[in-house]
Amino acid sequence: STRESFDALYVEAFRREVEAVGTRNFPEQALREQKFGQVRLMVALNPNGSVREIEVLKSSGHRFLDEAAMRSVRLAAPFAPFPPEMRRI
């Protein structure tokens, strides 16, 4: 559907922005200690693109990496407002 394609485009732009910010702000501690991992976050956005909530769904196994991932979302915000197609229910 059209809405799904707008959703997918928005999510992809969101992901790229957060990853870019995360790369620029990667924790020195991770490099120093050779600690890496993947974290899965649930990020709730308001329609204006501001962050409403961030929750760790799956930890990287390293608290400082999880916190860095959440910080990357906050630093990348605010995101683009939802397009009208995403606001329709």
pLDDT digits 0-9 by tens, 72-82? 999 999 999 99
Angle at 59 between CA 58 and CA 65, to 5 degrees: 140
Q: How far is CA 81 from CA 33, 51, 78, in A?
A: 38, 11, 8
Please state whether the peptide bond connecting residue 78 to the residue before it is cis, i.e. omega within 30 degrees of 0.
Answer: yes
Half-sphere exposure of 10 (CA within 13 A, CB side): 19
Strand partners, 44: 53
pLDDT digits 0-9 by tens, 23-67? 999 999 998 999 999 999 999 999 999 999 999 999 999 999 999
pTM, to two decimals: 0.89
